[in-house]
Chains A and B, each alone.
Chain A
Amino acid sequence: MIIIIDMPKRLVIKDIEKCVGCGLCMFACSRRHGEIGNDYSGILPVSLSGFERGATVIFCRACKEPPCAQVCPTNALTPRKGGGVVYREDLCIGCKNCMEACTIGAIFERRNGKPALCIHCGYCANYCPHGVLGFEEVEA
């Protein structure tokens, strides 16, 4: 008998130096939530102190021990198989502890005060025109 084990996947950087800062990933992320814009986006395209030095994207790097989940008082954020967190918005009280706790600043504040963060669905990687983002299997 062959047992197929579903490996969890995560969003990864293939080559950050290729980023042109177009933000197609950011818009894709909010579209995935049925929205036009960036309020729901868990990925942020930034310049490196001005576009003279190029661009990069900031998003959750799928920590094995996520500090954001550790400081969440309501279990809205819980560790996810394969790294990162599972986010249940209905439990979130908008305390912003998670935003403070994230070492790399990858949790963003929505207009309603609640967090927007990457849940490693991989949708945005389909829209990265320059091969910066990938969606890959990881060891659980």
Chain B
Amino acid sequence: MKVLKIDLSKYRYEVEDRKDLFEEWIGGTGVAVQLLKEEMDLRADPLSEENVIVFAIGPFTSAYPLASKTVAMFKSPLTGNLGESHAGGRTATAIANAGYGAIVIKGKSKKPIYIVVHNDKVYFRDARVIWNIADSLIVGRIIAERESGRGIRTVMRIGGAGNKLVRYACVTTETYRHFGRLGLGAVFGSKNLKGLVVIGRGSRKIPDRHKYKEVYEKILKLALESDAMKKYHLLGTAVNVNPLNQLKALPTKNLKATRFEKAEEISGEALAEHNLGRRVACSHCPIACIHIAALRIPYETEPYFYKTIMISYDYELIYALGSMLGIGSRDGLLKLIHKVEVYGLDAMSTGVCLAWATEALERGLITEKETIVKLSFGDVDAYLKAIDYIVKQPNEFYRVLAQGVEKASEVYGGKEFALAFGKNEMPGYHVGYATHIGYLIGLRHSHLDNAGYSLDQKLKEIPKPQEIVDRLVKEEEWRQVLSSLVVCFFARGVYKPEIVAEAFEALGYETSPEELKMKGEKIYREKLRLKIKMGFDPDSLRLPKRIFETECFHGKLKEEYVKEALRYWKERYVLPLV
């Protein structure tokens, strides 16, 4: 596997054969950790020239269905620590077909540019004219029309949020998929990099056609016919809204509640019935879980004129810009999602920041002088304006809010209801202990690190905190294998260790479920070590009081239990690596 290294400071690139890295660390997360270690001064400022971005794919990309993710790794300007974000779309297969296992981006361009990687060539394009276009959809369209490679390319780009260095700006790809979390968009912005196009046409020989076909068919059949992916086949991730609401696990109005009276209105069922207009797929995925709503909006002044916009929705967006903000109208919710999409913001962080700001205003910690517009739960128009302000940053308050809820609550108070974990804004689950312990000890502080929200729903009774930690870490270790293979986590029910080993064998690599699990443990440790080297201190993890005040599926959570879990995690998993 080859690694393409691009230096924006010198407008140069080189290609290295790094078979060694991929053999030892699989690909994706495993390889990205190593490349970051090799390439970066780990103490660098995330928004400086010294920050490094790695995009990595895996050995199954293009070979098997559902290996459709790309892992981005960088230093996060939101947390000041390791940033890792995964996206679907066509990025992974474009990189694979162009002939690379990873792309490393270093340095900083003097002027705005975007990059085009076309198989073995790299072009640096002038982006001065499009730099200030805030609408990421328009940016994507302009670049797509100007460049070749229709159908075999990915167009990654930032919108206004990345330009303005909002610390939770995302990088958008293929209109609807995102390197969403932890601020990769701001890192692009800081490097004067508006976009990255990869055009890939290429292939490699199948070593054993018979065996390969057999495994391919098996995986495809599992994906299409078993229950392993049924949830994503039908309503998509939005299917979670109603059940979580019933479980008292749907964070509502800045987690003042976990039941939302209007949940039904913004549920996956309601969206499918009233708005679902189309579905699309990531490259090489038969599921097509990307649900796109059609929203018809009349012109403000002229009768019988309409615009119809297509808006991709998922559970996390419905939570962050719906229940968390008390928004119970589908049209309102979709308008907010669209606004966030246009600017290229992380929806979860944006929603949590606005929810905190609303409560801070309610409590008088800030006034309308700060917020400019009167924020109140349920007020769509106010939030639409506030999102403009997060990007445009017309005053000190929004300049601070653009740095995340941790920072905002440091400056203005209200930490007890500032819902961030490891400085990353909260995902949409308040199920129980494993959920929150999962956010805290997860190496990305993401619900997908270890799926604590799912463990909570399976627990018959609450075990000792140590047991929860061990189970979460075990899950996270296996997920390091999946994210190194860059298999979509939604397909985790398909890619069980035995199938993964078989799939490797068909590509000519000997391995076993045991060896894979060991690699998962190793990658987990390497990533944690990298995090520590970047300055991560488990003692600095803050527990927002709010999570102990609002009832969840497990009832009211006890702070001591979570603290005990953190103490154990530190002792058992962190300290041996220091």
Contact = CB atoms under 8 A, between A and B. Distances in A.
A and B from one assembly? yes
Interface of A: 20-24, 26-27, 30-31, 33-40, 44-47, 49-55, 58, 108-111, 127, 129-130
A55 B150 CA distance: 12
B174 A35 contact: no
Interface of B: 62-63, 65, 90, 93, 96-97, 119, 137, 140-141, 144-145, 150-152, 174-176, 200-206, 209, 213, 216, 220, 224, 278-286, 288, 290, 292, 309-310
Contacts of B141: 49-50
Contact of A38 (B97, B209, B288): B97
> Residue among B202, B309, B310 with the most chain A CB within 10 A?
B202
Contact of A20 (B90, B97, B280): B280
Given A20-B279, A22-B286, A51-B176, A37 B151 contact: no
Contacts of A53: 310
B280 A35 contact: no
Contact of B174 (A33, A36, A47, A127): A47
B201 A110 contact: yes
A38 B140 contact: no
B91 to A, nearest CB: 13
B205 A34 contact: yes
A36 B204 contact: yes
B311 to A, nearest CB: 9
A45 B203 contact: no
Contact of A51 (B63, B175, B200): B175
Contacts of B62: 27, 36-38
12 contacts: A22-B282, A22-B288, A27-B62, A31-B206, A34-B205, A36-B204, A38-B201, A39-B203, A47-B175, A51-B290, A52-B175, A108-B201
A20 B288 contact: yes
Contact of B209 (A21, A34, A130): A34
> Residue among A35, A36, A58, A109 with the most chain B CB within 10 A?
A36
B125 to A, nearest CB: 19
Contacts of B209: 34
A58 B284 CA distance: 16
A38 B202 CA distance: 6
Contacts of B284: 22-24, 27
B558 to A, nearest CB: 46
A109 to B, nearest CB: 8
A50 B201 contact: no
Given A45-B151, A46-B151, A127 B137 contact: no
B506 to A, nearest CB: 10
Contacts of A21: 280-281, 283
A45 to B, nearest CB: 6
A52 B310 contact: yes
Contacts of B140: 50
Contacts of B280: 20-21, 47, 51, 54-55
Contacts of B286: 22, 24, 129-130
A44 B201 contact: no
Contacts of B202: 37-39, 111
A130 B201 contact: no
A88 to B, nearest CB: 20
B51 to A, nearest CB: 29
Contacts of A54: 278, 280
A52 B281 CA distance: 12
A49 B152 CA distance: 13
Given A22-B283, A38-B93, 17 more contacts: A22-B286, A23-B281, A36-B204, A37-B97, A38-B152, A38-B200, A39-B202, A44-B152, A47-B174, A49-B141, A50-B141, A50-B144, A51-B290, A51-B292, A54-B278, A58-B151, A111-B202
Nearest to A128: B286
Given A38-B152, A50-B144, A22 B285 contact: yes
A27 B278 CA distance: 23
Contact of B281 (A20, A30, A49): A20
Contacts of A27: 62, 284
A102 to B, nearest CB: 15
Contacts of A33: 203
> Residue among B145, B205, B213, B283 with the most chain A CB within 10 A?
B283
A94 B65 CA distance: 32
Contacts of A111: 119, 201-202
A34 B206 contact: yes
Contacts of A51: 174-176, 280, 290, 292
Contacts of B283: 21-23
A23 to B, nearest CB: 5
Given A46-B150, A50-B137, A50-B144, A36 B281 contact: no
B108 to A, nearest CB: 29
> Residue among A50, A51, A129 with the most chain B CB within 10 A?
A51
A112 B366 CA distance: 64
Given A24-B284, A51-B280, A130-B288, A30 B152 contact: no
Contacts of B205: 34-36
Nearest to B174: A51
B151 to A, nearest CB: 4
B144 A49 contact: yes
A22 B283 CA distance: 5
B137 A52 contact: yes
Given A20-B279, A46-B150, A51-B176, A37 B203 contact: yes
Contacts of B292: 51-52
B17 to A, nearest CB: 18
Contact of A36 (B90, B203, B224, B310): B203
Given A44-B152, A50-B137, A36 B63 contact: yes
A21 B175 CA distance: 13
